[in-house]
Structure formats: C-alpha cells, structure tokens
Amino acid sequence: MVILGVAVLLLAIGVGVAWRARFRSLSSAHTSAGLRLTRSLLRSLDQGVVIADRQGEIQVVNRAARGMVGSLANTVSRRGWAASGGEEIVGSQGAPEALGSLPIARAVAGERFDDEEVFVRRAAESTGLWLLVSGAPLRSRRGEPEGGFVVFRDITAKKDQDDSVKRLTAAVDKSAETIFITDCEGRILYVNEGFEKTSGYSRSEALGKTPRILNSGVHDAEHFRRLWDTILRGDVYRGTTINRRRDGSTWYGEQSVTPVRDTQGQVRHFVSVAQDMTERRLLLEHEAAMRVAGIIQRRLYPVDTPRYATLDVAGAAFPLEITCGDYFDVIPLPDGAVALAIGDVSGHGIGPALIMVEARAHLRSLLGAGFSVAEAMGRLNRILCDDIPADRFVSLLVVRIEGRPNRMTYVNAGHTGGLFMGRSGAACAELDPTGPALGLIADACYGTGEESEMEEGDVLVLVTDGITELHAPTGELFEWPRVVDVVRKNRTRDARGIVKAMHDAALTFAAGQPADDDLTLLVCRVTSDEAQSDAASVPSDTGAAVRVP
C-alpha cells in the first residue's frame, strides 16, 4: 500500500527522530531539522496519520486525521477511537467499538494490517465516514515495542459510488428484460439473468460469443446492415427482432441497441435491451382471431326473416366477451310455421361459442328436414352428448308458432324459461322445462309443452339466465319477478321497444356492476295485419335484432 509506505518512510526519517528528541533531550541542529521536516510532511499529507506510544498515549495526530475523525483524547484504551467531549465514536453497526478492536489499539498491540474498511461516526451524529485503514507496530532498533501507527484516508464517496454501482448492477442483473453488453467488435461481455432465462443460454455459454447465437435466420442481410450502420454512427437502434433460443424455438423482442462512448467520444461498447414480446404477440393474434370469430358469430344471429302473419319479433345478445355462448334464432319451418329459439351453453368465451355454433347448425338442419321440435331436440341431444366435453351442456327453449289464429307450443330442454303474457297484463304463464339440458343424458326424452292461442297484444319473452342472475352492487339478483314486471309495464310497445326496456332495466339494476354471464333475450308480440303491413327489418342499437312482419 502506497500510503503505508509513505507512513513508514515518515516514521523512519522523522517520527523516530522526534521521539528520541523527546525522551533523550537531543537538541542538535540535525534533530531540529528532521523534526521540522516531519511536521511539515505530516501537515501536507491528505491521509490521516495517528501515532501512539507503547502505553497507548497518542503522540501524533496530523491535520488530515483531525479533519476526518475529530480531536482525539490522550489514550486509546477507551471504547471507540477515543472519547471526545463525553461522546463516543461508533462503528457501522451503531454500537461503540469493542475495547482493543480499534486500528490504533491493534497496531500498538503488535498487529500489522493493510487496507481495512472501517466506518466511524460520533454517537450524536447521523452520518459518518468510511475509512481505508492500514496500521503497524513501531519497534526500536533492538526490536522492542515502542508503539504503533495507523494511516487512513476517506473513501466515503467511493464507497457510495461503489454501492450505487452495485445496486444498479443488481437491478440490471435481476431485470426481466433481456440485457447484454458487447464490445465494439460485437463480442458479448455481459449478460443478465433475463438473457439467460429468455434465450436459454447460460452466462458461461454466451460470454465471448457474438449475438449471432441468437440469429433465427428470419432477418435478411439488409436488416443487420441497417442495425450496424445505426449504432456505429452513434445512434440508438430500435426495432422488432425475431430471435432463436438455445432449444431452437423463436421469440419476438422489442429491442434497443445503445452505443456507449468513452471519455474521448469513441464508441467502445453496445448495450442491447430487449423485451420478450412473444406472449403479447400471441395474445394480440388471439384477440384478432377472437374479433373475427365474434364478427362471424354475430352474423349468425337473425337480422331479417321472411314475413310471417302478425308476429313482431326482436332479439338481442350482449356478450360478456368478444364471443358468446348464448343463442337466439328465428327459423322458418317447411310447413309455414316459425320457430323461435333461445339457448345458453354453460360457461362463456370461445369454447361455448363453438358449441353454440354447432347446436345452431344441427337444430336448423333437423327442423328444416321436417322433424318436429320434440324429435329435433332428442336428436340434437344425442349429437351433443357425443361431441361436447362432459363438463359442458346446452339449455335450449324452442317455441313453435303456426296458423291463424296463432297457436303456440314449445319444448324446453332445461332452459331458464320463457314468459307468455296476455295483452291485459293480468294473466301470464311460464314455459317450464319439458326435459333436461342437452348434452347430459344421451337417451333423454323431450315432451311438448301445453298449446296456447296467441291473440293480438299478447307478448312472448324468452331470456337467458344472464338476465335473471344479474347482480346489483348489494348482491341482490334481478330474478324472474322483475322480468315479469318490465314486460307488464312495456307490453304495449313493439318487440324492439320491449327488448330495449328490458336491457335498460338490467343496466339500471346492475348500477355499473359487471355482468357475470352473457345477456340474451328474444321478444315476440302479436299485432294486427294493418300494424304489420309496413314493417321492415331493423337492426337494434343494442345488439342483433329482428322483426318478423
């Protein structure tokens, strides 16, 4: 250590002379000159110097030492470096140093040590200093102990800087982003844990290699030429790269490469930071596919149907997600009748939506082939039992309306139910299940509900349980009585108006509380021939809608 060498030199040419002058009363001109030289050198040093005799009495404390640790008492036998004004100097743990563990005490005891980091502060102060301390014993020419000395310098700023670098390094190393540093030739000098996790290459495998180990072969030579042209002229490159992992799979990275210059302004290193966008890209692709699926599915809801007698029909679906497991339909039958269908696949999202599409296709095919509603329901049940997972099922209610006056029959496969209300609003009937939900019991039988006549002003309302099980912020459910109440209050409106009234009532009831399931409803109202003569198909602003004149 350079400082220790300087201190030893001082002791050899000056301090020893000073002590001999004190103890032997030497007064020669040479001694005086040596003493003055020693004092001058001690004052000019920016390192602290403390010297004590063999009894621990401090003989020398230079100016730099006093500036760093304050004035010291005459003995080092107390705790701390020394006591000053009744205050103790404490160590890094906030407690006074143990007796005999201090640098000067250890030097007096005959110990030699180099470059030890020591933290000191006064007990009454909040901040302190980090010192780099070296020490050694002093001996006479005959080898007898005569004391000890320590030399130290303030390394607080360097220590703080080192700690900042360590914190920064730790943060970079633990970052989830893929970070690596290369020299100006492209050789990898550093990789963080994010690099190892994303690329699959360990630190030892990557160091010394070039980023070519990540080359997926997707990018052409022009891509890399633009990258190198950008960073070699000192600019930051940003772009999306397709990289290869160690196992051969690829990953997408949003990458930036930043040149790092030295003090002369020359580019010496490149820092590459990449965020793995593979999952996000897959998510975006999935969302795009879902949007397309949602568009296709919405086109399956009826928007226009052939004219049929005196029926005004409207329906709407409000998916919880982009796709929907709910189903409503208006199906013209070969014998001139019409079938109104509403269904609900358990769950919501893309899986139930696919099941809904299959159920719709088979139901339309079976009814179009001339099967009765009950026969079509039984055949559809057997098909779904074979096709859909065991944890899925489909509730489906199909109402058949024919003739003039209109006669209504229905088959209900485990659905929430429907409501048939007379024009006075006093009498109403629920369309209760006539068999289990589809896809559960392969040999299930489905009966036909009681036939009813439909007169002008009568209203038929079919809903999914997303409406009846809608929650208010208090936890209260919308439930069937509210459906009946909304229909009764709005029974004189056209079908589309009743759909809108039901939807508005549901939104008001939820008061901003998100729905737990898809919401779907289908309304049929009997009108006069005159009222229907000019009717046209009108899309609803709240979902798919139909009107059947």
Q: How far apart are CA 416 and CA 418, in angstroms?
A: 7
Give, in order, the Cα–Cα distances in Å from 77 to each of 26, 52, 109: 30, 11, 11
Q: What is the DSSP string of 223-270?
A: HHHHHHHHHHTTPPEEEEEEEE-TTS-EEEEEEEEEEEE-TTS-EEEE
Q: How far is CA 157 from the centre of its chain?
A: 37
| CATH of the structural domain 2-160, one choice from 3.30.530.20, 3.30.450.20, 3.40.50.720, 3.40.50.2000 | 3.30.450.20
Residue 400 confidence (pLDDT)? 95
Residues 295-309: pLDDT tens digits?
Answer: 666 666 676 544 566
**Residues linked to residue 270 through DSSP beta bridges, in sequence order:** 182, 259
Residue 547 confidence (pLDDT)? 37
At residue 260, what is the residue type? V
Residue 7 confidence (pLDDT)? 46
Residue 144 confidence (pLDDT)? 87
Residue 99 confidence (pLDDT)? 46
* 50-80 per-residue burial string, b: 16 or more CB within 10 A, e: under 16: bbbbbebebbbbbebbeebbbebeeebebbb
Token pair for residue 374?
Answer: 């009950």
Residue 86 confidence (pLDDT)? 40
Nearest CA to 146 out of 32, 15, 39 is that of 15
Which parts of the chain register pLDDT below 70? 1-35, 38, 70-101, 121-126, 284-301, 303-309, 322-323, 529-549
Cis peptide before 405 (omega within 30 of 0): yes
Hey, what CATH topology would domain 303-532 get?
A: Phosphatase 2c; domain 1 (3.60.40)
For the chain, the distance separating the N- and C-terminal CA atoms, rounded to the nearest angstrom, is 103
CATH number of this structure's domain 175-276 = 3.30.450.20
Q: How far apart are CA 404 and CA 402, in angstroms?
A: 7
Residue 91 confidence (pLDDT)? 55
Instruction: Confirm if 302 and 315 have CB atoms less than 8 A apart.
Output: yes
Residue identified by tokens 């301390």 is 133
Residue 494 confidence (pLDDT)? 92
Please count the residues of the chain.
Answer: 549
Q: How far apart are CA 133 and CA 153, in angstroms?
A: 7
Domain with CATH 3.30.450.20 in the chain: 2-160, 175-276
Residue 509 confidence (pLDDT)? 92
